[in-house]
Amino acid sequence: MAENKNPEQIARDHIDELLRQSGWKVQSVNKIDLNDGIGQAVREYQTDVGPADYVLFVHKKAVGVIEAKREEEGQRLTIHESQTEAYAAAKLKWVNNKVPLPFLYESTGVITRFTDQRDPKPRSHEVFTLHRPETLHEWYFQEKSLRGRLQQIPPLNPRKLPAKDMKLRDCQEVAVVNMETSLKAGRPRALIQMATGSGKTYTTITLIYRLLKYAGAKRILFLVDTKNLGEQAEQEMMSFVPSDDNRKFTELYKRVQPRTGCR
């Protein structure tokens, strides 16, 4: 016979499963073992403002908190962010933690929102699942978050390009500058409209190169809807030489291997 569980317990069961799928060891507060795996999610961990639903540890360092809510709260998770922030700023029992903890989640087990406190203007966004311990460990020791690193992208100066025929056209320059302005302002959803034959692919590769070099981006999806466009983009990536280096794009970033996946 199935147990009768209230909505909060059901949500925590779902969150426990998400955590396990992402590589976390889920532990109760009376059975903490920070040597068990890379990352541990400890339920009902004591803080000086009360027990947090989950505190996340990576390599024995507290790095984040999860505020669990029933599924019905999914569409209004943002109103609970202040509660998560309070736990992140609290002193933890039994350990000396960095305050505030940088990685904050609100989750119902169905919908999860995430905030990186190190962002220039921290705000939550929905994520597909909880990040892996290895990911949070890498981010924890970075000086700045990705949104922070976007602020250090230098101004575009196409006049330094070595050959006249490699200069960005005016429309390409405007597109790159405006896209980077949007990213720096924390508006990641943006649309570039350019006419046929104006060099959209070259413009995009220029943006990709600058994100990789100056913002330390790790994964960028270049998606096309036909095989011909994919092959065209692959050829342009392989021949692209940036303005500030004589090596080709694929020589500088060997991990970037253009592939076509159209069927």
Contacts of 209 (CB under 8 A, 6+ apart): 240, 242, 249, 252
The SS3 of residue 139 is: helix
Kindly tell me if the per-residue pLDDT of 263 is higher than 50.
no
The CA R_g of the chain, rounded to the nearest whole Å, is 23
Pick the CATH number of 7-142 from 3.40.50.1000, 3.30.750.24, 2.70.150.10, 3.90.1570.30: 3.90.1570.30
pLDDT (tens digit per residue) in 13-72:
999 999 999 999 999 999 999 999 999 999 999 999 999 999 999 999 999 999 999 999
Cα(6)–Cα(4) distance, integer angstroms: 7
From residue 182, how far is each of 147, 187, 214 by CA, in Å?
11, 5, 16
* Spatial CA neighbour of 111 closest among 101, 121, 125: 125
Report which of 50, 34, 116 is spatially closest to residue 42, judged by C-alpha positions.
34
Residues of the chain with CATH 3.90.1570.30: 7-142
Rounded CA separation 36/16 (Å): 16
Q: In a 10 Å sphere around its CB, with 0-12 CB exposed, 13-18 middle and 19+ buried, how is residue 159 labelled?
A: exposed
The helix (run of H) or strand (run of E) holding residue 167 is none
Over residues 168-215, the pLDDT tens digits come to: 888 999 999 999 999 999 888 899 999 999 999 999 999 999 999 999
How far is 119 from 256, CA to CA, in rounded Å?
A: 26
